[in-house]
């Protein structure tokens, strides 16, 4: 209780002249750069064509480097980034509502529960505005006001309106922009694009990343690629949980390959559970669908006040629209009056779970709450609401057969529309490959950008900040910082892949594939993956305890044994074999699951998306322990997947922001 009182820090809306701003400015002045004429002597591998990878590959090509760009899809345009619906943040202050670089910086650090690196976040906020200019110049069709100016909406954890969007397809439109730049560079011969290629290993020569081994997913053959530096932009590890909002192809194998070579993996326990997803509706499901956070601008989240009403809803005897206004508990507005429905995701997810655990869930499984547009439709009219969220309403209707824009009931003159049903689901991973301020991993010449690094979101990411980070890394940070590393590499000639290191790496990858094919057990990849997901959700999910995490580690060991002895992969290694590809990724998801559990077990505090039941306030809020856990947890591989990793701590230093307990109440 005492802790929540400490929160009244006023937000300075001016850019501070303090140490962080200076540090970045000075840093720029001392940055080493590669002479333009020398850039063509340097090759860079970029693995990934999501927003981070595509923007980096296009920009590096534009600068004159030779880029080799890989993705597992049949086209860069199909990267997971196209799933992003709601928008991208920037501190433009177009709404004149008091926004600033500092305010975006502050909100992001606070949203991350004070577990992000302060200087990185400042830089992110600083370049956010350039991203919007860059994308507008590419022709990204951001939503505009009637007068032609770019429109904004609000996302969680902010009291200003700073989210730029293109209907509910922001990721797709941004990726089309990046892709058009990428295509220009492919045409110019500066980027070579390798679609349907999967990186299986990174090749390290004399302690530096010098290439990759990739599988051609069409021919099934392994191929070698060499470069002066390798950039990993392969996205997050949310699919460790099997059911998530991530695309089916999202995987953590490239990150795990780097980890096995000694790249630290940072904060794996920080997994984001998004509050507004369509609830699980059966055990045959392989995918969960996000309903964008933007819906919380106008949608109000509620459950019945009365437990009897909840029971009737669960039994299917009444519908949400049968319950009048005065019988509804808008629990986020009640608990967090200052932010209401726009509290950050971790807070909203826990609040939904709390209501459902107490028996107030509104569907047959008791694991759903309502997201209701009645008030907004009555106020603004259905046309305005459809203009804002039309495609999301259609998506919801297609999946559930319920139209949230349809009038369902009228009680005492008040019109009630069908509410959506939502429940939290795994969505984003804040943890990732550890990188320094230059986005370089703990292996020289190996860089990580976008969702696959850990850098900017601390223990919880705010909505619309992933696209911002991916594009900041790809367009503005990496192309600049990588030159610090490359500036003394121009004397290193283009590499041959005919070296003992490439031989050994390819042999190891081949042995792994042979091993997977030789198991010849009885279980499909998906059945084991589903079991992994159940263990993760049950014991390493929204609420964690020492006991649950120890149980998870035990079960994951058993599951690895099951995978190694009872896996069945049909077909052969030649040509395309999707089951083999999935098995390759599943092996890494199991190791990733263990890593998440080890980290969660070590972190005896609750912060952001990591909630240890032992560490909560009387009101059920996350309780941090800054004295003992104010650090980035970096995990170092210990030689084989069976052995527990070693923890290395990177202490956090805050200079511009006062570390305090998060408050979204006042």
Of residues 229 through 268, those in contact with ligand FAD by CB under 6 A are 233-235, 245-246, 250-251, 253-254
Which residue of 73, 489, 534, 566 would you call a contact of ligand FAD, by CB under 6 A? 73
Structure tokens at 320: 């949400």
The residue from 345, 388, 461, 612 that is catalytic is 345
DSSP classification of residue 278: P
| Phi, psi of 433, rounded to the nearest 5 degrees | -60, 130
Closest distance of CB 397 from ligand FAD, Å: 17
In the bound state with ligand FAD, the residue whose beta carbon lies nearer, of 466 and 513, is: 466
Give the residue among 212, 193, 182, 191 at the shortest CA–CA distance from 54: 182
Which residue of 34, 44, 67, 81 would you call a contact of ligand FAD, by CB under 6 A? 81
Give the residue among 282, 342, 330 at the shortest CA–CA distance from 305: 330
Closest distance of CB 44 from ligand FAD, Å: 15
Q: List, in order, residues 6 or more apart from 97 with CB less than 8 Å away.
A: 160, 161
Of residues 83 through 122, those in contact with ligand FAD by CB under 6 A are 83-88
By CB under 6 A, residue 441 contacts ligand FAD: no
By CB under 6 A, residue 451 contacts ligand FAD: yes
Closest distance of CB 467 from ligand FAD, Å: 4
Other residues' Cβ atoms within 10 Å of the Cβ of residue 456: 24
Of residues 631 through 660, those in contact with ligand FAD by CB under 6 A are none
By CB under 6 A, residue 53 contacts ligand FAD: yes
By CB under 6 A, residue 132 contacts ligand FAD: no
Closest distance of CB 230 from ligand FAD, Å: 11
Closest distance of CB 584 from ligand FAD, Å: 9
The runs of H, that is alpha helices, within 229-381 are: 253-260, 307-314, 331-335, 345-357, 374-380
Which residue of 39, 41, 77, 80 would you call a contact of ligand FAD, by CB under 6 A? 80
CA distances from 121 to 10, 128, 657 (A): 19, 10, 11
Which of these segments, 196-204, 341-349, 572-580, 595-603, binds ligand FAD (CB under 6 A)?
196-204
Closest distance of CB 318 from ligand FAD, Å: 31
Degrees to nearest 5, angle at CA 42 with 39 and 46: 110
Degrees to nearest 5, angle at CA 241 with 238 and 246: 40
H or E element, residue 266:
strand 265-266
What is the length of the chain?
Answer: 666
Q: Give the whole-angstrom CA distance, residue 215 versus residue 231.
A: 17
Give the residue among 582, 568, 509 at the shortest CA–CA distance from 215: 509
By CB under 6 A, residue 202 contacts ligand FAD: no
Q: Is 386 exposed, middle or buried (0-12, 13-18, 19+ CB in 10 A)?
A: middle
By CB under 6 A, residue 606 contacts ligand FAD: no
Closest distance of CB 103 from ligand FAD, Å: 18
In the bound state with ligand FAD, the residue whose beta carbon lies nearer, of 83 and 380, is: 83
In the bound state with ligand FAD, the residue whose beta carbon lies nearer, of 87 and 593, is: 87
Side by side, which strands form the sheet with 646-651? 432-433, 265-266, 631-636, 646-651
By CB under 6 A, residue 157 contacts ligand FAD: no
Q: Give the whole-angstrom CA distance, residue 62 versus residue 39.
A: 10
Which residue of 120, 154, 349, 465 would you call a contact of ligand FAD, by CB under 6 A? 465
CA distances from 323 to 318, 329, 333, 381, 415 (A): 8, 11, 18, 21, 11
Structure tokens at 390: 């039309």
In the bound state with ligand FAD, the residue whose beta carbon lies nearer, of 233 and 509, is: 233
In the bound state with ligand FAD, the residue whose beta carbon lies nearer, of 290 and 422, is: 290
In the bound state with ligand FAD, the residue whose beta carbon lies nearer, of 251 and 349, is: 251
Closest distance of CB 472 from ligand FAD, Å: 11
Q: Give the whole-angstrom CA distance, residue 567 versus residue 278.
A: 31
Q: Among all residues, whose Cβ is closest to ligand FAD?
A: 50
Virtual CA dihedral for 100, 654, 481, 458, nearest 10 degrees?
A: -80
By CB under 6 A, residue 348 contacts ligand FAD: no
Closest distance of CB 518 from ligand FAD, Å: 22
Q: List, in order, residues 6 or more apart from 24 with CB less than 8 Å away.
A: 119, 122, 123, 126
In the bound state with ligand FAD, the residue whose beta carbon lies nearer, of 47 and 632, is: 47
Which residue of 16, 48, 304, 541 would you call a contact of ligand FAD, by CB under 6 A? 48
345 is catalytic: yes
How many residues make contact with ligand FAD (CB under 6 A)?
45
Which residue of 44, 49, 272, 423 would you call a contact of ligand FAD, by CB under 6 A? 49
Ranges of beta strands (E only) in 300-445 are 300-304, 328-329, 369-372, 407-411, 414-417, 420-429, 432-433
By CB under 6 A, residue 72 contacts ligand FAD: yes
Structure tokens at 150: 């770019």
Which residue of 20, 45, 46, 51 would you call a contact of ligand FAD, by CB under 6 A? 51
In the bound state with ligand FAD, the residue whose beta carbon lies nearer, of 50 and 268, is: 50
In the bound state with ligand FAD, the residue whose beta carbon lies nearer, of 238 and 320, is: 238
Closest distance of CB 239 from ligand FAD, Å: 10
The runs of H, that is alpha helices, within 139-237 are: 170-187
Q: Are 403 and 386 in contact (CB under 8 A)?
A: no
Structure tokens at 3: 């802790």
Which residue of 79, 131, 166, 421 would you call a contact of ligand FAD, by CB under 6 A? 79
Q: List, in order, residues 6 or more apart from 62 with CB less than 8 Å away.
A: 181, 185, 190
By CB under 6 A, residue 428 contacts ligand FAD: yes
Name residue 131's beta-bridge partners.
none
Structure tokens at 638: 């210990």
Which of these segments, 33-41, 68-76, 104-112, 486-494, binds ligand FAD (CB under 6 A)?
68-76
Question: Mask of contacts with ligand FAD, 470-489, x by CB under 6 A?
Answer: x-------------------
Give the residue among 129, 197, 124, 157 at the shortest CA–CA distance from 470: 124
Q: Give the whole-angstrom CA distance, residue 252 versus residue 244.
A: 14
Question: Mask of contacts with ligand FAD, 527-566, x by CB under 6 A?
Answer: ----------------------------------------
By CB under 6 A, residue 199 contacts ligand FAD: yes
Closest distance of CB 409 from ligand FAD, Å: 31
Closest distance of CB 17 from ligand FAD, Å: 29
Q: Are 143 and 283 in contact (CB under 8 A)?
A: no
Residues in contact with ligand FAD by the rule CB under 6 A? 47-53, 70-73, 79-81, 83-88, 170-171, 197-199, 233-235, 245-246, 250-251, 253-254, 290, 427-428, 450-452, 464-467, 470
Give me the active site residues, please: 345
């Amino acid at each position: 209780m005492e802790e929540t009182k400490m929160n009244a820090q006023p937000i300075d809306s001016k850019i501070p002249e303090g140490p962080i701003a200076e540090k970045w400015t000075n840093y720029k002045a001392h940055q080493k750069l590669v002479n333009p004429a020398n850039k063509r002597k340097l090759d860079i591998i970029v693995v990934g064509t999501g927003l981070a990878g595509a923007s980096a590959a296009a920009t590096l090509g534009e600068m004159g480097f030779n880029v080799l760009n890989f993705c597992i899809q049949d086209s860069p345009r199909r990267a997971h980034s196209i799933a992003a619906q709601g928008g991208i943040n920037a501190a433009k202050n177009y709404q004149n509502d008091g926004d600033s670089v500092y305010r975006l910086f502050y909100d992001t650090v606070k949203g991350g529960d004070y577990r992000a690196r302060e200087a990185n976040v400042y830089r992110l906020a600083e370049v956010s505005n350039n991203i919007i200019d860059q994308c507008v110049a590419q022709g990204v069709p951001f939503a505009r006001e009637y007068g032609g100016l770019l429109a904004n909406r609000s996302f969680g954890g902010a009291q200003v309106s700073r989210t730029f969007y293109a209907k509910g397809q922001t990721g797709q439109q941004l990726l089309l922009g990046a892709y058009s730049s990428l295509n220009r560079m492919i045409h110019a011969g500066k980027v070579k694009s390798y679609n349907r290629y999967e990186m299986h290993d990174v090749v390290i020569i004399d302690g530096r990343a010098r290439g990759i081994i990739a599988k051609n997913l069409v021919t099934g053959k392994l191929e070698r690629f060499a470069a002066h530096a390798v950039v990993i932009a392969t996205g997050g590890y949310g699919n460790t949980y099997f059911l998530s909002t991530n695309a089916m192809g999202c995987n953590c194998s490239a990150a795990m390959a780097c980890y096995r070579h000694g790249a630290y993996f940072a904060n794996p326990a920080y997994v984001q559970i998004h509050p507004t997803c369509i609830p699980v509706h059966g055990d045959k499901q392989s995918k969960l669908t996000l309903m964008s956070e933007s819906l919380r601008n106008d949608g109000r989240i509620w459950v019945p006040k009365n437990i009897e009403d909840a029971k009737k809803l669960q039994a299917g005897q009444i519908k949400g629209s049968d319950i009048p206004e005065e019988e509804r508990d808008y629990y986020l507005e009640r608990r967090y009056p200052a932010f209401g429905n726009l509290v950050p995701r971790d807070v909203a997810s826990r609040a939904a779970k709390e209501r459902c655990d107490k028996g107030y869930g509104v569907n047959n499984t008791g694991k759903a709450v309502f997201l209701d547009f009645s008030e907004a439709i009555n106020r603004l009219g259905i046309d305005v609401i459809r203009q804002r969220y039309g495609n999301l309403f259609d998506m919801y209707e297609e999946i559930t057969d319920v139209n949230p824009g349809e009038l369902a009931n009228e009680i005492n003159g008040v019109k009630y529309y069908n509410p959506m049903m939502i429940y939290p689901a795994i969505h984003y991973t804040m943890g990732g490959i550890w990188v320094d301020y230059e986005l370089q991993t703990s292996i020289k010449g190996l860089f990580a950008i976008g969702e696959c690094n850990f850098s900017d979101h601390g223990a919880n990411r705010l909505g619309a900040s992933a696209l911002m980070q991916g594009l900041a890394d790809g367009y503005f940070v990496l192309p600049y910082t990588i030159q610090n590393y490359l500036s003394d590499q121009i004397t290193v000639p283009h590499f041959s892949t005919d070296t003992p290191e490439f031989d050994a790496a390819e042999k190891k990858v081949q042995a792994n594939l042979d091993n997977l094919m030789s198991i010849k057990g009885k279980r499909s990849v998906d059945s084991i993956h589903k079991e992994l997901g159940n263990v993760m959700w049950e014991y390493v999910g929204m609420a964690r305890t020492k006991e649950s995490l120890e149980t998870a580690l035990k079960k994951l060991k058993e599951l690895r044994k099951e995978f190694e002895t009872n896996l069945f992969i049909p077909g052969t290694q030649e040509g395309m074999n999707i089951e083999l590809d999935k098995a390759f990724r599943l092996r890494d998801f199991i190791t990733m699951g263990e890593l998440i559990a080890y980290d969660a077990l070590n972190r005896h505090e609750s912060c952001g998306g990591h909630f240890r039941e032992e560490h909560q306030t009387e009101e059920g809020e996350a309780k941090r322990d800054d004295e003992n856990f104010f650090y980035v947890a970096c995990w170092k591989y210990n030689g084989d997947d069976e052995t527990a990793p070693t923890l290395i701590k990177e202490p956090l230093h805050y200079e511009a922001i006062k570390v305090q307990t998060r408050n979204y109440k006042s």
